[in-house]
A and B are shown apart, each in its own frame.
Chain A
Amino acid sequence: MSLVDSAVLLDVRQLEASFLTAGGLVKPVDGVSFTVRRGETLGLVGESGSGKTITCLSILRLLPKASAAIMGGRIVFEGQDLLRKSEAEMRAVRGARISMILQDSLTSLNPAFAVGAQVAEAIALHQGLRGSTLRTHVIDALRRVRIPDPETHLDDYPHALSGGMRQRVAGAIALACNPSLLIADEPTTALDVTVQAQYLQLLKDVQRESGMSMLFVTHDFGVVARMCDRVAVMYAGRIVESAPTRKIFDHPRHPYTRALLDCLPAIDGPAQELTGIEGQPPDLARLPAGCRFAPRCPLAVDACRVYPAEALLAAEHRVSCWRASELSRPTSVAAADPMGAPE
């Protein structure tokens, strides 16, 4: 993809981020590349510790300065490399062009300020509004996320609202300035199942109206099926497979992706034993030289001691596995197709 392809909103290339920990220098993000086009939703899937959140923070350049740094790569957003911007320029991007929703709204909303004030701050900061105009915009922002009677909630404090409402407020803050890219870091994990569906629908509707793109971090394949046009699977700091959602479900080519999908019980069909993936996620300070999934992989062979080059299998379907072409049989999930096709 060339730098000026206008359909591509975000182009992350070979991103590397290092952290200084008690165990030494580790690289939770080690050569991550993906793209997000205008109007599409890319899912970022992986276990905890795979580097998903750090990737997101890196895009916004919000890694803790004292102990972490981006060591290499490019993050091209709307044609400009974010890694070359000054801090002041980044501040203009954050909240306005790229926004983020965090996982737990109880801790991500400031407990000492009313909800209305927190939304107002985002708007005032980037759009310079004051007074009654500001207030109108705040109410509109709250209404957009389908909070009923928004005027009555302006002075509520976060602890007084339910989890679903709070996450909507977080959404209002993120969407207030109409960002081109919304990064959602497991926004529904802390919500009740019933509320989850509503919230996801809300995000989808907003996306359709505004044409914004989403980078959706999740470990839940059900959410992936619902929300994402394309999926990238991460393991131990690298993307092991990326493809359109349908393809991932129908023909996962990486053993890790397969294993993740196999963990999902099929709704139709006979009752089966629940399977997990053997072993533990690797210690980032002591990574194996070759494929990082090899220690847990049922298909590992000698060749896996060298890190597999990325293979482009079909249109947009990339895998990093020497044995990718062998995994062609469909999975149980594809057969059952429980969640419905993504839009």
Chain B
Amino acid sequence: MSRFIVGRALQSLLSLFVVSLVVFYAARLTGDPTVLMLSEMATKEDAARLRAHLGLDKPITTQYALFLKRAAQGDLGESTRYRRPVTDVLAARFPASLELGSVAIVISILIALPIGVYSAVHRGTALDFAGRLFAVLGQSLPLFWLGLILILIFAVWFGWVPAAGRGGPANFILPAVTMGWATTPAIMRLTRSAMLEVLESEYIKLARIKGLPEWRVVWKHALKNALLPVITFSVLLFAEMIAGAIVTETVFAWPGVGQLLISSVNTRDFPMVQATVLLLASLFVLGNLAVDVLYAWLNPKIRYGR
């Protein structure tokens, strides 16, 4: 199993490398930040000096090499907008995203898993149909619109919760539900189809032959085997989660990393964009790696070799 992990880790590193390259070059293409930083009265010499100061006058490959070198030492540059080291800004913003993300995932699993299991066990009934409709509908909704509709109904019309911003528990509800929505329908469908397959197995028949009560057959014997393919396919969901984070934070003005990305792009803050993308991409890559490791651990065939 360790060989497996090492292989995956190397692959992850390669992905990160590619992302950083793409972002670096792309960010440079977005335009000249000096234009936004200086006032209209600035002279060409001033602009040139600023550019030199920011290192923008060197050839692009040199810039990238420099960036890598500094990054290895933990220095990701200084935000042109905030005039502070990028790592400081990220560190300040990261907890907010982490909070929201964790709550969102938990809510998502708590809703999706039982519905998926129930749907599979009661296949063909009206409840199953409702569950599946719910999932398809869910996958057809744009996340940002869902967030806005939730704000409209629960914050504006009913006034039960605040409309935006980070704060106490009430502030978490709408954003967490919205962000969780990125993954809920997919997990529900995955669980349902995995359970359906597992429930046809001979070992489930044997579990019943043993005399086990049905709930144990479903929740212990069936689910443990069904989780394996669900987890495998969830790697596809990490991209959705990151997209969900970006969109949700923007809609609810949640001061996290996702919202930081959008605002940095708009203000042409290169170093910030780079660092933010790198952070999100690393999370993505690490998340995938973690899921792969978890899968390997859960699957006795890989864990115990042979």
Which residues of A does B touch, CB under 8 Å?
Answer: 60, 62, 66, 90-96, 99-100, 102, 104, 107-113, 121-122, 125-126, 157, 159-160, 170, 173
Given A157-B304, A159-B300, A160-B304; A108-B206 close (CB under 8 Å): yes
Question: Given the complex, which residues of B lie within 8 Å of A104, measured CB to CB?
Answer: 202
B221, A110: Cβ atoms under 8 Å? yes
Closest to A56 in B: B209
In angstroms, how far is the closest chain A Cβ from the Cβ of B221? 6
B209, A160: Cβ atoms under 8 Å? no
- From A62, A66, A92, A95, contact of B123 by CB (8 A): A66
Given A66-B123, A112-B300, A160-B304; A107-B202 close (CB under 8 Å): yes
Question: Given the complex, which residues of B lie within 8 Å of A66, measured CB to CB?
Answer: 123-124
- From A62, A112, A160, contact of B205 by CB (8 A): A62
Q: List 19 A-B contacts (CB under 8 A).
A: A62-B205, A62-B208, A66-B123, A91-B212, A92-B211, A95-B209, A102-B202, A102-B206, A107-B202, A108-B206, A110-B203, A110-B224, A111-B203, A113-B224, A121-B212, A125-B211, A125-B212, A159-B301, A160-B304
Question: Given the complex, which residues of B lie within 8 Å of A121, measured CB to CB?
Answer: 210, 212
Tell me if B234 counts as interface (CB < 8 A to partner A): no
What are the nearest 10 A-B pairs in CB distance?
A94-B211, A95-B211, A107-B202, A95-B210, A157-B300, A110-B203, A108-B202, A112-B224, A91-B211, A100-B209
Closest to B226 in A: A112
Which residues of B does A touch, CB under 8 Å?
Answer: 123-124, 201-203, 205-213, 221, 224-225, 228, 298, 300-301, 304, 306
In angstroms, how far is the closest chain A Cβ from the Cβ of B247? 36
Question: Given the complex, which residues of A lie within 8 Å of B208, measured CB to CB?
Answer: 62, 94
B205, B221, B306 pick with most chain A CB within 10 angstroms: B205
In angstroms, how far is the closest chain A Cβ from the Cβ of B129? 14
In angstroms, how far is the closest chain A Cβ from the Cβ of B191? 16
- A228–B219 alpha-carbon span in the complex (Å): 39
Closest to A87 in B: B214
- From B203, B211, B225, contact of A108 by CB (8 A): B203
B203, A160: Cβ atoms under 8 Å? no
Question: Given the complex, which residues of B lie within 8 Å of A170, measured CB to CB?
Answer: 206
